[in-house]
Structure 1
């Protein structure tokens, strides 16, 4: 097992190119189940999660080929297996989203209930209710969802009781081959959902309203192949922007969609860093002095993303004052707080609220990553800490960040990967 070692206390200076979005790429890979033609994805990140999903798709008969550069081709000419076993699904929660496409194309599916990061219950009942609304027959048996739709799926009006990115995406992936119109009310509005809709529409789907709270899908009988570029990863971009604000220095991020992080840039500026941006690049600069305290509430898009909460808290731990961070999306996403406290942070957690009293500096310490985004906050803290920080269990990090030690190293970070 690997660990990351960081000799901190040095500002970052340089340029980082942002990879394709993990949260989009893994749903775009699932699109391949909906057609017997080739799906080619460019700007694909190379991650543990994409490898895990590739293994699951290959188990079902999909030919998965990683080409040169950031390219992947998937071809499901025939589906040889409509079962997604526990050993493959447990590694990544998003793999559960193969259920609807298998059902839509093959009329049946058996999929294990998912695993993934331990940041809350995140039940799949919204996913299953959406499929049932479209006519699927579903039963649970020994940890598996067994679904059938022998007569085909039918369009339905589905109202989500709360905003769910995963359930919105799953319903879209299923409804494109259902008969008639499906209407999703209170749908999630994330850029990754828009990316998925654009890919499906390029294949012949009829989706309108993606990116708004009401999405309409007119089912079609067949989808064609496609070549599609994965949208840049806004969470990776935000993580590196916060790394520059935390460690200090001057970092330019390229290959981004700056409009996808409209809730972040004002807060970084409020904390005392200079933010200069255009459509595809952003420059983050912070010199001497401590950051200023900023309160943050996570919200569904276009609000502040929960996937940047831990990284923003890492910055606030050094602020000259007190900030309050409220987590409104997941009920168990403060697991990074005890690890930051090992590095000298002063954080008090009560329910969904964390009170952060800024300290003058981090102290290097051995820490442990507890989930994907928490591991990124520890990286950022280690960059600012005096001394050598050792971060274990970085397999979490590899699920969502491509060559993070290389990208930060290009900006002068003294960071390396070692075997534990």
Structure 2
């Protein structure tokens, strides 16, 4: 069994090239079903297990596709004749587009998508579909749908993708209020409009969709993963480094950059990305609400890494389960209160010599902490970290992290 040996405290310096945004690719794969003519061409598609699995489902539905791994181009041709299939949690963002094309869709219910299932029932009941369910399955049927207004401010991103895509072929006008400023939303709107949809942002948080009769093929260059950029910017700040996240956009990362600036770091927006220059003394800083609202574990772990070097008490958002997993590492310096999340008394100056974990997400927390604390730390089950990002350790080493894999 492989272990990681981490000598913490080394500043992360250099440039990091970001991967393509997986969620945007998944949303665009779903949107490709709406095109009855022409080909949807997605550029800068780096294959992941979820993307491969979604391609297989699209082929079962009847989509003709071709993927060039070297050029990172995915071509999708839905055509006229499609067949509905039973969707799983991995394809929950496809419910709306399968319904729009096949008039019926079924989704296997699992605890991990309980929120999305509840939101889907709200969406399609209001749009005029027939929604039925049992203990294991949600089924939606509809011959036509009528536009409605929704407040999506508290919805999951998968549900926003569903209502945004299905509304393009819905009668009348659909209005979405409280739409978050996310790369996947902006990219999806761009693709849908290129396909012939009529989607308009009337202000920063309101999207208006006028239904049309049909959509056609179009092309889109997939944006880089902005949350990956935020993760590396935070790790660089937590280690007092100097890093440029190539392909990062200030518009999407304002909550991250404002937080890092408030903690005493220097943020420079460049033509090719965002640069953070770390400081030796991080000021105690409370994460702003917009930052806490980002529902991505990498950002939450980045916040923890920064707070591990801050003096004083800070709060951050982790699930109770994850909080209990890392509590033995931090001892009396961490507390969990129901409804308030975790409280950390910083700075963290020491960790157990060996961090043991059984899930990849817990391992990522351990790695982030080990990078910030000036000691040698061993992480069990290094292979689990590869489940999240196969190139994670290589990227960190290229930036100056002192990490070795030993057997």
TM more than 0.5:
yes
Unpaired segments ≥5 residues, structure 2: none
Q: TM-score by structure 1 length? A: 0.84
Larger helix fraction of residues: 2
Distance 1:181 1:195, change over 3 A: same
Please give the secondary structure, in 1, of the residue aligned with 2:74.
strand
Cα distance, 1:255–1:160 mapped onto 2, change above 3 Å: closer
Query: Which position in structure 2 is the counterpart of 1:8?
Result: 7
Deviates more, 1:237-246 or 1:382-391: 382-391
Q: Hey, what does 2:165 align to over in structure 1?
A: 173
Measured after TM superposition, the shift of residue 315 of structure 1 is: 1.8
CA contact (8 A) 2:168 2:209 kept: yes
Q: 1:404 aligns with which of 366, 389, 392?
A: 392
- 8 Å CA contact 1:27–1:196 kept in 2: the answer is yes
Which residue does 2:99 correspond to in 1?
103
Verify the 8 A CA contact 1:323 1:356 in the aligned structure 2: yes
The 8 Å contact of residues 96 and 114 in structure 1, kept in 2 or not, is answered as no
Q: Which region of structure 1 is more displaced relative to structure 2, 357-366 or 245-254?
A: 357-366
Counterpart contact for 1:4–1:392, Cα < 8 Å:
yes
CA contact (8 A) 2:312 2:346 kept: yes
CA RMSD of aligned residues (A): 2.9
2: distance between equivalents of 1:107 and 1:138? 12
Note closer, same or farther for the CA distance 1:19–1:106 as it changes in structure 2 (3 Å cut): same
| 1:145 corresponds to | 138
Q: 2:13 touches 2:243 (CA, 8 Å); kept in 1?
A: yes
State the distance in 1 between where 2:397 and 2:254 align: 27
Identify which of 294, 305, 311 aligns with 2:285.
294
Q: Indicate yes or no: 2:219 matched with 1:217.
A: no
Q: TM-score, normalised by structure 2?
A: 0.86
Counterpart of 1:113 (choices 94, 109, 113) is: 109
In structure 2, what is the Cα distance between the partners aligned to 1:165 and 1:178? Answer: 20
- Show structure 1 runs of 5+ residues with no match: none
Question: Is 1:413 the equivalent of 2:401?
Answer: yes
3-state SS of paired residue (2:234): helix
Is residue 2:84 matched to residue 1:82?
yes
Question: In structure 1, what is the equivalent of residue 261 of structure 2?
Answer: 269
Distance 1:75 1:390, change over 3 A: farther
Quote the offset at 1:220 in angstroms. Answer: 1.1
- The answer for the alignment partner of 1:73 in structure 2 is 75
Q: Which region of structure 1 is more displaced relative to structure 2, 229-238 or 151-160?
A: 151-160
Alignment-derived partner of residue 323 in structure 1: 314
Shift of 1:63: 3.3
> How many residues were matched structurally?
398
Structure 1 distance, partners of 2:387, 2:127, is 36
Bigger drift between 302-311 and 225-234 goes to: 302-311
Superposition deviation, residue 4 in structure 1: 6.8
Q: How does 1:283-362 map to 2 (within 5 A)?
A: 283-286=275-278, 289-299=280-290, 305-307=294-296, 308-325=299-316, 327=317, 333-344=319-330, 346-351=333-338, 352-362=340-350
Flag the 1:238–1:255 CA change in 2: closer, same or farther, 3 A: same
**Cα drift, residue 258 of structure 1:** 1.9
- Counterpart secondary structure, 1:263: helix
1:50/1:210 CA distance change after superposition, 3 Å? farther
| Residues 181, 216 of structure 1: 8 Å contact kept | yes
